[in-house]
Amino acid sequence: MIEAVVFDLDGVIVDSEHVWDAAREVLARERGGHWHENAQTDMMGMSSTEWSRYMHDVIGLKDPPEEISAAVVSRLEATYREELPLIDGAPEAIARLAERWPLAVASSSNRPIINLVLELSGLDRFFRVTVSSEEVQHGKPSPDVYLEAALRLGVDPEHAVAVEDSHNGILAAKAGGMRVVAIPNRRYQPGEGALAEADAVLKDISELTPEAVEGKD
């Protein structure tokens, strides 16, 4: 029986992976780093601790990782305050599911970004729990952030459903024992191997109904 639903944030609620990509790339070029075409893919799903270390060690920024993370977050905050890229249909889908189950967010975004998105969108009232992967030991594809969300909700992961868009996110939720509903990211398509692990694959979030969550479609 389904007892809770856990949403990813980036790519599910906000169309933001490309915003993160641009902020990191601009920062890297401004500060003398060596950006490469696989950098965004490499960092997708990493916690802030992990990707800021990647930008220091691999991209070659001289700033300490914590300063790199803060600089990127500052750029994201400014962008979101100007125009929040909410995905069409996401608020309606969240409201639908909140009528049936307690909801959580399990995101690779930094804590300030999670809070800002939910505040600006007015969606914070629907989520009982929010977890950033910077608050657990490992980012996605490790299941830590999903397991922590289930723990804070007080449910067994096997009785929870994750809503994910990315390769590493799907693998993370599946590794945590959750049923996974995938809504593939159109800009950064998850690989076939990850999609094969999903229990359901939807075209877009407008199809995210209680029946889809329960596998009754």
Q: Of 82, 108, 136, which residue sits at a domain end?
A: 82
The range of the structural domain enclosing residue 115 comes to 4-15+85-214
Pair 8, 107: CB distance under 8 Å: yes
9 conformational bin, left if phi > 0, alpha if psi -120 to 50, beta if neither:
alpha
CA 85 to chain CA centroid, Å, is: 14
pLDDT at 7: 98
pLDDT at 216: 77
Residue 96 shares a structural domain with residue 74: no
Instruction: Find the farthest-apart pair of alpha carbons in the chain and give their distance in angstroms, rounded.
Output: 52
Q: Kindly provide the residue ranges of all beta strands, DSSP E only, lying in the chain, ordered along the sequence.
A: 4-7, 103-107, 127-132, 160-164, 179-182, 200-201
Per-residue pLDDT of the chain (217 residues; tens, 9 = 90+): 999 999 999 999 999 988 999 999 999 999 999 999 889 888 987 888 999 999 999 999 999 999 999 999 999 999 999 999 999 999 999 999 999 999 999 999 999 999 999 999 999 999 999 999 999 999 999 999 999 999 999 999 999 999 999 999 999 999 999 999 999 988 888 999 999 999 999 999 999 999 999 997 5
Q: Of 82, 105, 121, which residue sits at a domain end?
A: 82
153 conformational bin, left if phi > 0, alpha if psi -120 to 50, beta if neither:
alpha
Residue 109 shares a structural domain with residue 51: no
Pair 133, 144: CB distance under 8 Å: yes
Residue 89 shares a structural domain with residue 57: no
In SS3 terms, 54-113 reads as HHHHCCCCCCCHHHHHHHHHHHHHHHHHHCCCECCCHHHHHHHHHCCCCEEEEECCCHHH
Residue 46 shares a structural domain with residue 117: no
pLDDT at 213: 97
Residue 109 shares a structural domain with residue 159: yes
- Is 0.85 surpassed by the pTM of this model? yes
Residue type at 125 in one-letter notation = R
Pair 146, 7: CB distance under 8 Å: no
162 beta partners: 6, 180
The Cα–Cα gap between 14 and 114 comes to 10
Residue 110 shares a structural domain with residue 30: no
CATH code of the domain covering residue 24: 1.10.150
Residue 196 shares a structural domain with residue 103: yes
Residue 105 shares a structural domain with residue 196: yes
Residue 10 shares a structural domain with residue 21: no
Q: Report the number of distinct structural domains present in the chain.
A: 2
CATH code of the domain covering residue 152: 3.40.50.1000
CB-CB neighbours of 37 under 10 Å: 6
Residue 179 shares a structural domain with residue 122: yes
Q: What is the DSSP letter of 33?
A: -
196 — phi, psi (to 5°)?
-65, -25
Residue 107 shares a structural domain with residue 200: yes
Q: Of 40, 63, 82, which residue sits at a domain end?
A: 82
Residue 71 shares a structural domain with residue 23: yes
**Among the listed residues 117, 125, 110, the one whose alpha carbon sits nearest the alpha carbon of residue 86:** 117
